[in-house]
Structure 1
């Protein structure tokens, strides 16, 4: 199989990731639950991973890295824990449902929500941030990069807007953590939400949020933490404030190994970007092929999303899989607002996405497959 669905999850991991998980299964107990070797081994693993994430994302304190199962859970914690009735939040048309649905639920409870519009190519109207500003605006919640088009949001610009108006800034880094440089302190980000199984190349079931010092996030879930057991309320201190229940120490061991690989390898984005652009250049002028997103932008994440004529995206993806052995993602990609802006709400679109472990040969094979299907579509 040629796996080009890395924006959903990276399938090929650094070999050390699986080894680290296997070793942790035998060595780790429950983090923070005792002083025996199993518990201490888990605690060392978890804290070491906190330190690596803090360094990667510019979080000033390792104990303000709070682990979750994925970025969806992290975004729910941040959005629900910082906003409430009477508040106003600005988001964008580029958002994934992991941002949209928590915001819509808050809107039902009295939080006002507005969205900065995107045009028919998926480009944000940055002037919309200023136009949507209200006296009661409390936060901006937006993605760093679209999981549909691969377009990157100018986070420096959004962070500057948030700082100038005293707003909180919640960043969805699902598609960019491990891919693009992120320094939450320098960029003016209040909370960075990330997942471990995409660009970080770690196991599924790992993710979290990095929290700016001094920020008060209401716990989304409460329960066991291993500390302050006689208190009826969740501990106030981070990270236990947001980490009810037993952590996935085994998965975090794998994430730690993936972070080591990224640090040792250096910038992996250059290779991924080169492959995506190579594919784009090979398919963009094929008959009946429409490629979405702003390809004049200098920085993108390694995603190419397209349609072939009026063929349903699920049919195209199935043909790619069954005839050519190429894995892609069709449909709506949990990005309903952007699909409507692109005019693809009914057809959906086919997303190709690369990781560091993909090759030029795989990319050429995928482009050739699209060429075959495009010619077949043109012939009717």
Structure 2
């Protein structure tokens, strides 16, 4: 086994948030195109998809026309698949009407639509240190345009206080924007409690469900969620380039884009009826067909079954590494109800070094670096080091978990 090399200075480069160019080259050399490596980077994207998802995309590529752009069978077939997918998503999230489901490319687009379409100069917005840059950067933009932003601090376990959040509400507070699950620590955020509080104060709740959609039960009406933003390529097991948002009936979100809609062609303004109001241009019909198949798989398998299996694997890994000397594990593991994520570091090694070694010596794919969650790293105290994130899928096996535990044991011994 190649020993880890401790470096005092890590060169900053284009690749410093996910590793280095050398890391990428090592990956190519180690795998030689073999995707049978032990994949533990599911919080970034679920690489292993149900076969039905792949088959659905292939079939759509050879048969699907442009939904809403014609009366031919190819166009009508696309329209039927897209509408059926809206219905499945509405059922999954407890939406009152399928027309309140809007398709986007990913959570980033959904969050930009929600934040920029609801927040105006003079509005006050509350968020937390746990957020992904897909939340933070649009909020910083709105702050530059005249909105006021309050960021609720998180402790060293990556938790924030609901009492602190409620104390931050003012008469000018327009919305609370928060994650349902941290992509760094895996901590689950009780958005139902946040929703009850927001509803009581007449404040909108915008939820980033990137890490929880398709894994944890979400009922937008019961949880008082006004806007739910989600992506397809993670827990929903759908293709990349798919995602969406739910918008509560009666709430108007100003569109981020305007253009072709397939209806009201001679109107100078973009249609205001949902979901067309927030869907300008041709949708990713091929990807949505894959999402439709993924949702059918989730319905048949059961998200509770999937979540319980992922948590079982996560807890097995956590119990195997938490007491290894020189290993630091981040996050709150005092409750079972958490995302299947374990982030750790070994001694003072840079996280990219550890991730490289896991890949080249053990064939384990992980994610090092900053995870697009800068404030969360501030709370945890590992801004410069980053963290090595293991994130599990129900497609992982017990044998793979045992291999990963053994790898951390051996690498930690090298640090001594």
* Structure 2 residue corresponding to 1:326, chosen from 364, 370, 390: 364
The residue correspondences of 1:1-380 to structure 2 (distance < 5 A) are: 1-266=37-302, 267=304, 268-378=306-416
Task: State the Cα deviation string for residues 84-136 of structure 1 (Å, max 9, x = none).
Answer: 10000110110000000000000000000101111011111211112211110
Distance 1:130 1:67 in 2: 32
Instruction: Compute the displacement of 1:15 (Å).
Output: 0.4
Distance 1:321 1:130 in 2: 44
Distance 1:313 1:125 in 2: 29
Instruction: Compute the displacement of 1:298 (Å).
Output: 2.8
Cα RMSD (Å) = 0.6
Task: State the Cα deviation string for residues 302-360 of structure 1 (Å, max 9, x = none).
Answer: 00000000000000000000110000000000000010111100000000001111111
Distance 1:297 1:139 in 2: 28
Distance 2:313 2:350 in 1: 25
Instruction: Compute the displacement of 1:193 (Å).
Output: 0.4
Distance 1:186 1:272 in 2: 25
Distance 2:186 2:210 in 1: 12
Distance 1:57 1:104 in 2: 29
Q: Is the 8 A contact 1:171 1:193 kept in 2?
A: yes
Distance 1:97 1:152 in 2: 18
Instruction: Compute the displacement of 1:279 (Å).
Output: 0.0
Q: Is the 8 A contact 1:116 1:126 kept in 2?
A: no
Paired positions, count: 378
Q: Which runs of 4+ in 1 moved over 4 A?
A: none
Distance 2:401 2:236 in 1: 21
SS at match of 1:286: coil
SS at match of 2:343: strand
SS at match of 1:315: helix
> TM-score, normalised on structure 1?
0.99
Q: Is the 8 A contact 1:195 1:206 kept in 2?
A: yes
